[in-house]
Amino acid sequence: MTIAEQIFQHLAALSAKEQREVLDFVEFLESRHCKQSQRSEDESWSTFSLESAMQGIEDDPIEYTAADLKETF
């Protein structure tokens, strides 16, 4: 018997109100998983974007010196 079949058996024994609670919980789990997946994907794109933007910057000549600064800290 699969897990889904076991869940269905337990669910069938519950009242409609309790089934609604189970459904709410399942939807919560789905949304939490989706948010975690999205966050992980966003972090990956952010890292990729920063790496792409900074690629080759170490080879660029230095265009400014300390004399160009208006204020120093």
Please tell me the predicted confidence (pLDDT) of residue 31: 87
Note the pLDDT tens digit of each residue in 12-37.
999 999 999 999 999 999 888 877 77
User: What pTM does this model have?
Assistant: 0.48
Residue of higher predicted confidence among 56 and 22: 22
Average pLDDT of every residue of the chain:
84
Residue pair 19/11 in contact by the 8 Å Cβ criterion: yes
Q: 19: how many CB neighbours lie within 10 A of its CB?
A: 13
Reply yes or no on whether the pLDDT at 69 is more than 90. Answer: no
Report d(CA 51, CA 14) in Å as an integer. 53
